[in-house]
Each structure stands twice: as structure tokens, then as C-alpha cells.
Amino acid sequence: MMDAIDLFAGCGGLSLGFIKAGYKIIKAVEFDESIANTYKENHPEVEMIVDDIRNVDKADFFYPGAADIIIGGPPCQGFSMAGARIRRGFIDDPRNYLFKHYYNIVKRVKPKAFIMENVKGMLTMQQGKIFDEILRLFSSEKQMNGNPYHVYYKIIKAVEFGIPQGRERLIIIGSQKDVPFDEVWKLAKEKIYEEYPHFFERVTVYDAIGNLPKPTEDGKIDNPVPVTEYQKYLSCDKKEITNHKKTKHSKKAIDRMKKIGNGQNYTQLDEDIKSVHSGAYGRLSWDEPATTITTRFDTPAGGRFIHPSENRTITPREAARIQSFPDDFIFTGANREISRQIGNAVPPKISYFLAMVINEIERY
């Protein structure tokens, strides 16, 4: 068993996959207390540090050899250095502190490997200079105090991992081992096939949420019998599951939803909808994957999140299914907080695959 630290842990999507693959998460860091509460609810065995990453970096929370793996996705809003300044000032720009402290902790702990998850746009930010600088920092012997990493990266699509949504993300993996990365990626797939033959099959919205009953006032429902392979993968043996509560919509919003068919959106409405999202008031189709689940899946104007056959947006449990969270995972907090937790999470099926990739790298 290898020990892992989860930085920027959120509600625990990355942790879930690593735990499933046999890792022990020894510490997790999350700044937002309401989000950390969901993590603690589901992983009481993990030491959760609820604090700003700047304070965590300065304090003695982590030491050389504290963990074998570090995982996490530092938000990238501050990656804004440009031109000739980038090599000189990127790591010291206060706007990039989230990444800087992730880097500092990796540098101090010196794990066997690390995983960073981020938006795919990071590859092209500032004509690729940001990404080049990140690769340089981790692979430089000088910058890493004599412990440089071999850095590998891929843009991954959720649908290719048997997840019913169009999410794409950049995955960066650093390892102290120099391995043929495409080969270990393939070996991880083969290992998963052996245990879960249906893991990578295409999944539709119906495959994901088709067996869920009508939402309830308190969000609790009797645990439905899983029908599809995807439902079986996420199923649990609890008597009831939670978070299946619908959003209360205005009469105006409901009247709008009634006019929209499968795969259609606000363009079917004879009115001017003020929304920055091109898929506003979009209805999901039963026989296709969903679009990317975002933090606004509870809002009709937030994107294509209307239930395929009911005039409401999808519930947190339905969004969690589409994100590949297991049915026994409990989300706590206010409705808005829960939407943020689910929308910002790394899908646990992707996390599990990445953990298996690390296994193969270490085994190589």
C-alpha cells in the first residue's frame, strides 16, 4: 500500500479513485470548510487540513518522505504571466500562489510521483509558455533540489473512460522513473479490463440515471436496483441513497422547459434569454452522454442540464452519477455548495484509472 496526500482535495473525487486502487490517503487539504465537511463525511479516516494552502506550505504539515504520491489540481486562474517575463517571474508572481505551493510541497516531500489535473486550456495559455514553464520547473534538477521528475501529460476525455459526459481535462504526471508512458497507460487499461470488463464502454444518460425514481423532498430514496453495467459499477448495498432532491424552479422557468425537446436549448424559445452559456435551457437526451457537468447544473440557464423527460434540472444524485461518484457517497451542505462540489470534482472513474497508471509506473 502506498501513501498519498491530496492537495486541493475538494469533496474527494481524486481521493476516491486512489482509495479504490488500494492507496491510503494520509492527509488532504481543502480551504473551503463546507466542501471539507463532505470530504470528512465520506473519509473520516483521513486527516483533513482545512486551511489556505499558503499556511499549509509554511507550516510543518509535510516533510521529506511523508508520502509516496501527491495528487491535486491547483486552480489556474492566476497563470497570467506573459512574454519574456515568464521565466523570470512566473513562480514568484503572487497570482500564481496556488500552483507555487503545490510545487513547493512536491519539492519538499519528494514523492515517487505526483499527479496534477487541470483544464485543457492550460496547454495553450500564453502561447504555451505557461505549460512549458511548469514542465521545466518539475523536470529541472536545480529547481527540484536534485530530485527532478520525468513529466508526462495527456488530454483525456471522460467518455473514453466510460463516463457519460463530454468533459476534457489535462493530466500531468511526474515520476522519478523514466518509463515508456504510452506502454504503462496501456498496461493500466488492461489491468482494469481484467476486473471490470465494461469499464471503458460508452455510457449514455439513460445508462447512468435511468433507474432513479422521482426526486423526493428530503433527497432520500430507496436504493434502486441497478440495471445497466454502469449502474452496477456505482451501486452500493445501503438501504437508501441521498441527494436526490430537485431544485425549486420558478413558474416562468418551468414554462420555458416545457417547450424544449431532447437535445434542444433556448433557441426554441420565442424570447431573448440573457445567458452567457450557448447551451442555456438545454435538455439532455436519454441516448447520448451529457455535456460537461459544471457547478451550475442546478440552473436551467447554466447549460444543458434539464432532465431528459421531466421539467426540472438534474438533481445532485443524477449529476453525481454522471460524474461517476458511487451511490453511497454523501454530499453535505447547502444546495449551492453541493452543486459546486460535484461540478468541480475529478470524476472518480478517471481518478481510479490514474491510480492504476501510477501502479504500473512503479511496477515497471
* 8 Å CB contact between 173 and 195: no
35, 76, 257, 306: which one is catalytic? 76
Give residue 142's Cα distance to chain centre: 32
pLDDT of residue 89: 59
The alpha carbon torsion through 36, 42, 43, 44 (nearest 10 deg) reads 90
Check the CA dihedral 76-81-86-90 and report its sign: negative
Rounded Cα distance between 160 and 255, Å, is: 36
CA distances from 17 to 21, 24, 347 (A): 6, 11, 8
Q: In a structure prediction context, what are the per-residue pLDDT tens digits for the chain, which is 364 residues long? A: 899 999 999 999 999 999 999 999 999 999 999 999 999 999 999 999 999 998 999 887 899 999 999 999 887 655 554 444 445 556 666 666 788 899 999 999 999 999 999 888 888 877 888 888 889 999 999 999 999 999 999 999 999 999 999 999 999 999 999 999 999 999 999 999 999 999 999 999 999 999 999 999 999 999 999 999 999 999 999 999 999 999 999 999 999 999 999 888 988 888 877 665 678 899 999 999 999 999 999 999 999 999 999 999 999 999 999 999 999 999 999 999 999 999 999 999 999 999 999 999 999 8
Does residue 76 have an active-site annotation?
yes
* 8 Å CB contact between 196 and 133: no
Residue 290: phi and psi, rounded to 5, are -80, 170
pLDDT of residue 78: 55
* 8 Å CB contact between 213 and 189: no
- Cell representation of residue 309: 423527460
Close Cβ partners of 102 (under 8 Å, ≥ 6 residues apart):
7, 8, 53, 70, 72, 74, 116
pLDDT of residue 84: 40
Query: What residue type is assigned to position 86 of the chain?
Result: I
DSSP annotation string for 149-178: -EEEEEEEEGGGGT-SB--EEEEEEEESS-
Rounded Cα distance between 134 and 142, Å, is: 14
pLDDT of residue 362: 94
Query: What residue type is assigned to position 19 of the chain?
Result: I
Query: What residue type is assigned to position 117 of the chain?
Result: E
Return the CA Rg of the chain.
21
